[in-house]
Amino acid sequence: MVDATNLSLQEQQVEASINALNQKTADVTPQVQLLRNQLAVQQSQLNNLTHERARIENLIKADAATGKQLDDINAQIDVAVRNMAVTTQQINVQQSNIATQNRSILSEAEPLRKRAAQIKDQAGRANILNPVQGTIITKYAMEGEITSPGKALYKIADLRTMTLRAYITGSQLSQVKLGQTVKVFTDDGKNKYRETTGTISWISDKAEFTPKTIQTKEERANLVYAIKVRVKNDGLLKIGMYGEIVLSR
């Protein structure tokens, strides 16, 4: 695993910045509650004035009050209604302003979340995941060395199944097909050959000149076709080992 401590600290810093945004938002509830309390008082005053107007109207019918008294109470009711309208407007404005302010603050959270996701992705890349299960055959970096993105750390190969690259002549081409089982012979080091079986997994569609390292039984064959044979490895097959195949008849 590549050391990702710095990335982890960056991610924690971004997460802390996101959490801090909630501390910056304003709570409109206390201010609005004061205005609503004020509105309730104004409503109570309006109710009293309305009740008083009804009483004066009854007195006028009994010639016990004057029209001026009725005009005065109506003026007071008009002022009370306007005061309530102003208070209601103040509540709406207060809620709107705080909501706009909070949206502006919280809008900073989304870019921070994307940044945190990028850092998390980079930190995840610090985990070395092999594309295949296999054996490390070459190391390009040692523990503690500084590396860079895209630089190979080692070469890994799945040695459970080896691929033998062989060549056949044009006359043999008609004798092979994909998935065909063939006999594979490798040198066992005692002037003898070990025999295993393999499966043809690829056949070239183009002819090529005989490689210098290949000796065919037909000396006059100048053009050959490459094929690949997959052979199950019992642990004795090694990369670069020479082998021969015999086509089943």
**Residue 212 pLDDT:** 63
Rounded to whole angstroms, how far apart are CA atoms 93 and 99? 10
CA distance 45 to 54: 14
Determine how β-strand 161-169 pairs with β-strand 154-157. unpaired
pLDDT value for 180: 93
pLDDT for the residue numbered 249: 60
* Per-10-residue mean pLDDT, the chain, length 249: 76 87 82 92 94 92 88 94 94 89 85 88 79 84 78 86 91 90 86 89 88 56 86 89 84
Helix (H, G, I), strand (E, B) or coil at 162: strand
CATH number for 161-246 (one of 3.40.50.10440, 3.40.50.740, 2.40.30.170, 3.20.20.100): it is 2.40.30.170
- Report how far residue 2's alpha carbon sits from residue 122's, in angstroms, rounded to the nearest whole number: 11
- Give the whole-angstrom CA distance, residue 245 versus residue 184: 4
Q: What is the pLDDT of residue 103?
A: 85
What pLDDT score was predicted for residue 213? 61
